[in-house]
Chains A and B, each alone.
Chain A
Amino acid sequence: MTYENLGLKENPFRLTPPLDQKEIVWAGMAEVKSNIEKRIRIATLTKASRIVLNWGSYGSGKTHASLYYSKTDRLQRMTSESGVSPVKSIKITLPRSSNNIVQEFFRSFLGQYSLEDIFADFKKTQAEFGLDKLELMIDSLSNDKSIADVLKKLTNIESLPSDDFNKLKNYIHGDNTKATLTSLGLPLGLNNDEQIANIMASIISCITYDKKLYSTFIIWLDEFEDIDTVNKNLADRFTTFLRQFIDKTSNNLLLFLNFTQKTFMDMEDLSGYLGDALTSRAKAKIDFENPTLEESIIYIHELCDNPLFKIDGKDFPFDNDETIKYTLNHIGNLNARKINETFSIILEMALIEGKNKITKDFINEITDEIIAWEE
């Protein structure tokens, strides 16, 4: 069974992110897209670091946006259009299962931007500025003698594979056994929150220096609202760490914080968690508003018409927009996830029933199958 009868190669309404990066597509939500890209463009052209808060309800597309702007080639196209150096963009989900939340965050960071990549980028920076200048950079940007020593150790490695590199890797991942420390000639392990802030800040500052290698380093911190599910001490510790990290990375960092607009026991929303130091730096907010009826129809059209899903020369699977409107009017508050869930089921049912056009009558037959359906 295939979606061919409906004019589609595949069901375009996905409930989970695709494995293949090529399948991450953007549909509808033009305003949000333009707002995000404005922010990114400004960041690539100006120096100051910024925080952007992405607000939206469950399923409004925040995670999707962070995937789209960290996994696809969209950023590459943007930067080559405007003739600036590339952007490094990574997505990290707020760690919440660990007792050492900062260490866990750092590990996720390294998971997305590995020490091998960092090594390679440092080599490129070295080629650009020379070793002496790079070491000076490290000294002045790290604010911390022992972190500077660690990074200099990294720059002193000639090439990979290397024993020292492996030891350094262990060290950075939290190995503080005496043998490792002695052989690296480092006094202490990397287990203090401020040092982690320092090392991350130094790495980012070096590789974006003068916007040569990268114009901007983007971090999408997803599911930040879960900060209320970790215990109070850890939450305090993480926000303090985040403040330090931002303070220390004063240039070329763009931090997107994804906030689901849920409510909390004590406070109205997450504003309280950020504290004054972070909110005053949060220059921009992007509102992932619930789409209107018209916007939702555009979204459905754009998704079904995307060449990734549409079979050339075939028709749209719905008989007319009235059918779509009728469905959307019966599923309560609209958001991307709910639209995906609903239309995914509709297409699946049409496939099972062997339909080649989806009509209002057909929708009425299958309302029991549609979870969000409201009379």
Chain B
Amino acid sequence: MINFVVCVHYKMMKKINLLNLFSQYHCFESIYIDNSILIRIDELPLFSFFINIDFDNDKVEDEFILVCDDSDVDNVLDIILSNTSFKNSIKVNSISVKIQTHEQLFYLQYDFLRVYYELYREIPVMYYSSDDDSGYCPYYILFYTYTLESALFNKFFLDKLINNDNVDTQNSVVEEDYVKESISVNFISKYYEVINNYGWQDFSEKFDLDLNNIKILTLQTKVRRLNYIKMILNLFSKSNYYPDNIFNKKIEQEAVKFNNNLMEYINSKGIIEITKTGNSSKPYVEAMISLKLLYTQNNKYQLSKYGKIFNVLNNKIEKSDDNYFDLSKFEKSFFLFFILQNDNLYLWVLIDLIYIQNNKTKIKNIKEVFQEYILNQLEFTMKYSQIKNQDKSKILTQIRRIKSWKKPQVYLEHIIEPRINWLLDLDMLEKDEFQQNYIVLSKEGLVFFDKLNSYFDIFQEKYTLMDQLRCMDFFSLASDIYSINSVKIIEDDIALIENYINESFNLFKTIAPNRVTASQAILYTCFMMLFKEDKVVNFCTIQSYLKSNKNKNFIFEWYKTENDGSIRRKK
């Protein structure tokens, strides 16, 4: 008997509560559309709340629809709350929150996630939705949508969402500044300028997006210091190759020379020590193979075409005198480029999670939500990405694998710790906080977070767009993240660019006559332009110049299958 009463009471409470909740705010709109009440309140003008409802009684429902249709009703909420039969018969199924995209306010959705996480220690799943069912969807009416458990939605939550700007500590002021300031002036703004003129599909087509699949590096938890990667690459300036039976030991002997530097560095994890078996350096070598900086052939290790670029540039660009383990801006940019090439999922996810966890969190907290968040992100990609079906099936395999993790805490140690330390080496985290075991995005980290998610906001693709981002905007991005004082290139800079391409014919010479690998020549040019000439030029820009008939000096061929090409000088 008592149970029964409680049950009824709960049901009553639930529906009345949720609807009453909104009546406490000033609704500038509450209308009935397709089984849902759309509510927008003054305090959160860019949020829309959709309350999906049913009626116990068909007759009451008909009556309600009649009332809604009958006149110019713009406040359905008042009508329901003032009518007892409506009130008693209404059933609330779910509530969703929609946040408008492309208002250059994408971080609103992250604010929402932050509040939600703070209250419930969970991160809700995101969908897209549109007001328009016709199939044609202009950018500006696409919404980020979250369906929430109605029981969790309460006044406390709403108030917190409304007051989010004010409740936070110093941190959020700093964040807001970076996020807003950078949006107005950087390369992202060029996309926002044109975005509203296009429908969704048209806009993507305009840029002829080349989508990549999700890529994940398999790492061992030890691989934490990017500086060792630099050290190993430098070993190849002494010898072109190393037989595989001595390579690991050779690295260990070299690493010992830098032990003192490592001890003075902010974090000494990931140290390479001398071992009998070479086991201490092995994980780094494996990581470098996955990063495509090294390759093995006929039982020896050699620098890959990309690894060679690093060594060539390293000789050309001045190094800092700081601790060996403090990477220069060039080194940070270089490693970021190749990490994003080969590991486009986890790094982005980590940055998102740090931000959602109020930009002050601990590895333990990240691990708590990591598996579920990754699965949501992969499912989101499956659902909305425009990648090929065969690529989607690979993601499906990935999802299955992650779902079947038997000891997530063990696996996560190999996923999270290395990448968090990479972020530290890349200057994306606050070093002082890190020493206190807190993970906080630094100014650089916030700019990176902002650019990645602006990109997502614009193109509606996340990890699958990473190669495109690297091609179209990486050097703009690096310049912004590391505050490199640089300017955009102008027409006259073509001479400079051609000059660097010409240099690359000698720097990257092989036995093939009159030929240089396109990726080497172009990347060399991009890095030299940024770090020697203080000018930003992106890979795609050079690529399309070489393809165009403005190019009179080189024969350029590009092979899609290898995602690379060759450049030859014209006779």
A interface residues (Cβ-Cβ under 8 A, vs B): 53, 55, 57, 232, 235-236, 239-240, 259, 261-275, 279, 282, 285, 287, 289-290, 292, 333
Contact = CB atoms under 8 A, between A and B. Distances in A.
B513 A272 contact: no
A108 to B, nearest CB: 23
Contact of B559 (A236, A239, A262, A275): A262
A273 B297 CA distance: 8
Which of A236, A267, A333 gathers most chain B CB within 10 Å? A267
Contact of A272 (B297, B555, B557): B297
Nearest to B561: A262
B514 A268 contact: no
Contacts of B514: 287, 289
Given A55-B513, A57-B557, A236-B297, A265 B292 contact: yes
Contacts of B358: none
Contact of A271 (B512, B555, B556): B512
Given A239-B298, A240-B298, A57 B513 contact: no
B565 A292 contact: no
Interface of B: 292, 295, 297-299, 302, 304-305, 308, 508, 510-520, 555-557, 559, 562, 564-566, 568, 571
29 contacts: A55-B513, A55-B515, A232-B297, A235-B297, A236-B299, A239-B298, A261-B557, A261-B566, A263-B305, A263-B519, A263-B562, A263-B566, A264-B562, A265-B292, A267-B304, A268-B308, A268-B520, A269-B510, A269-B511, A269-B566, A271-B511, A271-B512, A272-B302, A273-B297, A274-B511, A282-B511, A287-B514, A290-B568, A333-B555
A271 B568 contact: no
Nearest to B512: A269
Contacts of B510: 268-269, 271
A263 B565 contact: yes
A162 to B, nearest CB: 42
Contacts of A261: 512, 515, 557, 566
Nearest to A57: B557
A287 B557 contact: no
A292 B571 contact: yes
A268 B305 contact: yes
Nearest to B298: A236
Contacts, number: 84
B512 A259 contact: yes
A7 B514 CA distance: 40
Given A57-B566, A236-B298, A292-B571, A266 B512 contact: no
Contacts of B565: 263
Contacts of A271: 510-512
Given A261-B566, A263-B564, A333 B295 contact: no
Contact of A263 (B299, B308, B518): B518
A269 B568 CA distance: 13
A57 B566 CA distance: 9
A272 B302 CA distance: 9
Nearest to B304: A266
The 9 closest A-B pairs by CB, nearest first: A266-B295, A263-B564, A268-B517, A287-B513, A271-B510, A266-B304, A271-B511, A268-B305, A263-B562
A53 B512 CA distance: 9
A282 B571 CA distance: 24
A263 B571 contact: no
Contacts of B564: 263-264
Contacts of B302: 267, 272
A272 to B, nearest CB: 6
A31 to B, nearest CB: 10
Contact of B298 (A55, A262, A265, A275): A275
Contacts of B299: 236
Contacts of A235: 297
Contacts of A239: 298
A232 B298 CA distance: 9
Contacts of A275: 297-298
Contacts of B298: 236, 239-240, 275
A34 to B, nearest CB: 16
Nearest to A228: B562
Which of B508, B514, B520 gathers most chain A CB within 10 Å? B514
A285 B557 contact: no
Contacts of B559: 262-263
Nearest to A237: B298
Contacts of A270: 512
A163 B270 CA distance: 69
Nearest to B508: A268
A239 B305 CA distance: 20
Contacts of A262: 559, 562, 566
A266 B292 CA distance: 6
A239 B297 CA distance: 10
B401 to A, nearest CB: 24
A230 to B, nearest CB: 13
Contacts of A269: 510-512, 515, 517, 566
Contacts of B516: 268
Contacts of A279: 511
A57 B508 CA distance: 19
B511 A53 contact: yes
Nearest to B562: A263
Nearest to B565: A263
A116 B292 CA distance: 49
B520 A267 contact: no
Which of B511, B518, B556 gathers most chain A CB within 10 Å? B511
B519 to A, nearest CB: 7
Nearest to B293: A266
Contacts of A57: 557, 566
A46 B359 CA distance: 75
Nearest to B520: A268
A267 B307 CA distance: 9
Given A263-B564, A264-B562, A333 B557 contact: yes
A286 to B, nearest CB: 9
Contacts of A55: 512-513, 515
A57 B565 CA distance: 11
Nearest to B570: A292
Which of A240, A266, A287, A290 gathers most chain B CB within 10 Å? A266
Nearest to B241: A276
Contacts of B519: 263
Given A55-B513, A265-B292, A285-B513, 5 more contacts: A55-B512, A263-B517, A264-B562, A266-B304, A267-B295
B525 to A, nearest CB: 16
A235 B298 CA distance: 9
B232 to A, nearest CB: 16
A290 B297 CA distance: 31
Which of B299, B514, B557, B564 gathers most chain A CB within 10 Å? B557
A125 B365 CA distance: 82
Nearest to A267: B305
A289 B298 CA distance: 31
Contacts of B555: 290, 333
Contacts of B520: 268
A279 B508 CA distance: 17
A370 to B, nearest CB: 17
Nearest to B516: A268
